[in-house]
Amino acid sequence: MSKEIPINTILNTKEQDYPVTAAFLAQFFERSTLLLRSQIMFLLTEREAFFWPTAEKILKLNQNIDGNPIDALLEYTVAFLREQIKFLSTGDYRYDETTFDDAFKEVYDNPDVMEAFYLEGLLVTHAFWPIHLDMHRFFEESFLQQLKQEESLGVELGFGHGLYLFEILDKYPKTKALGFDISQYSLAYANKLLLQNGIAADRFDLALGDVREPLSFDDSTLDWCVFAEVLEHIPTPDFALREIARCLKPDGLAFITTAINSNAIDHLWHFNTLDEVTAMLNANNLEIVALKELPLADYDSKSKDPTIDCAFVCKPLV
Ligand SMILES: C[S@@+](CC[C@H](N)C(=O)[O-])C[C@H]1O[C@@H](n2cnc3c(N)ncnc32)[C@H](O)[C@@H]1O
């Protein structure tokens, strides 16, 4: 017999401190009886202390831009699961190194994907997928807290929804941020997320940009760089990493994440092992100072899913 604590009992004890999250979960459990239920019960029991404040923060950011997070989370999750099921039977990702232009057309330049569910769905996974919540915690503890209090300049490449930019700009009032993303929809969404959540317009500058091209910075000029969940989306990961190493100051830090054996509607570079990723970082002048390995199987002992998310804090090799 399951010893699961009734969801209403948990929500009643939390709704005063975390009203937005408690309301979200009450509706979510009405809408989706099975999908994500065990993952969310895992969050409520095993990740309680970090989950509630993180979920409340992300849902409030989303509320301020009039989001529809339940639909987005469900649709994003179903789209991911469909691709991963295909990958488990074929061994292939949806795209490959020769078909980036198709991914651009079908995903990054497609409002029916980016605006409809991708950006908002991915944003809320940072709280509601255990693997992404743990990755977010690693970002806060091993990267965000290590950045300088004094004036600094950094960039996020492939910022998507803009959550990482918000976290940095919100915590460090003296930092300025630049950002490049290939999608006009990411650009519009992240600008809105930052501006409507109190980040002054003169503290950041986001633009369209392609990490397959050289970065427009002189050598050793950036204090920080975020390059999260982009490496597996591009045909030229070595080049992009080399550019990041070139642009970081000797004491600059990069936060880099990627996925191993994990398909999605826009993945094309298939890493098979963690060693492949660490070797690529080192070969492109990045030294790993912290690493978090997040195998999906650790969250559910019955799962045979070979997905591993991994996150790194790196500094440039000098
Ligand atoms: C999976 S999202 C990652 C969003 C966010 N960084 C995160 O970790 O949640 C990938 C983002 O990379 C962007 N992207 C894909 N290819 C790119 C390229 N060649 N140059 C710049 N951005 C790119 C997409 O538009 C999308 O916003």
pLDDT tens-place string over residues 54-100: 999 999 999 999 999 999 999 999 999 999 999 999 999 999 999 99
Taking each helix axis from N to C terminus, what angle separates 37-46 and 19-31, rounded to the nearest 10 degrees?
150
For the chain, helix (H) and strand (E) counts, in that order, are 13, 7
Beta-bridged to residue 157, according to DSSP, are 180
Q: What is the mean pLDDT of the chain?
A: 95
Beta-bridged to residue 180, according to DSSP, are 157, 207
pLDDT for residue 243 is more than 80: yes
The DSSP code sequence of 196-239 is TTT--GGGEEEEE--TTSPPSS-TT-EEEEEEES-GGG-S-HHH
Across 36-59, average pLDDT: 95
Q: How many residues does the chain have?
A: 318
What pLDDT shows up at residue 4? 63
Give the distance (Å) from ligand 1 centre to CA of residue 35: 26
pLDDT for residue 1 is more than 50: no
Domains belonging to the chain, first-starting first, are 7-63 (no CATH), 126-316 (3.40.50.150)
For ligand 1, which residues put their CB under 6 angstroms from it?
108, 122, 158-160, 180-183, 186, 209-212, 228-230, 233-234
Pocket residue to mutate for ligand 1, from 105, 108, 129, most atoms within 8 A of Cβ: 108
Ligand 1 atom 1, closest CA = 229
Which atom of ligand 1 is found nearest the CA of 126?
9
Give the distance (Å) from ligand 1 centre to CA of residue 50: 26
pLDDT tens-place string over residues 215-239: 999 999 999 999 999 999 999 999 9
Ligand 1 atom 14, closest CA = 158
Contact 80, 22 (CB under 8 A): no
